[in-house]
Amino acid sequence: MIIMSVDLGDARTGIAVSDKGQSFAFPRTVINEWNKEKLIEKILAEAVAAGAEKIVVGLPKNMDGSLGFKAKECTELAEKINQGFAGEVVMWDERCTTVSAHHALNATNTRGKKRKAVVDAVAATMILEDYLRSIK
């Protein structure tokens, strides 16, 4: 089964997918969309194109485990995705994934516009890798 992950950002949303055996996660794309309804349509289109049977949506908890404004926004997004998706939609703790993505991009010396273009997909990949580890 292919699993897709979503890292919701304000302007950019990262998408990653797993292989069928759920051993690896790969960055797929970054969706540049401010309008939430259009964003949901684009996420669902990516899920269909990837053949995803499950979508993992990153849940940005605060460091103390509490849920803030962004977590509520992500939960609402997941609920709307679930309405249009035939498979399962799950929320997954994504604390520190964007920071980790920046560290990974530092290690590869990825800077400037190129960095902005990929950091959200890298964060989505980290969310998915963490989820895949948890189900093994």
Confirm if 110 and 118 have CB atoms less than 8 A apart: yes
**pLDDT in the model for residue 116:** 56
Place of tokens 């053949």: 51
**Domains in the chain, ordered, with CATH?**
2-135 (3.30.420.140)
**pLDDT by residue (tens digit) across 6-59?**
999 888 899 999 999 999 999 999 999 999 999 999 999 999 999 999 999 999
Confirm if 121 and 114 have CB atoms less than 8 A apart: no
What pTM, to 2 d.p., does this model score?
0.84
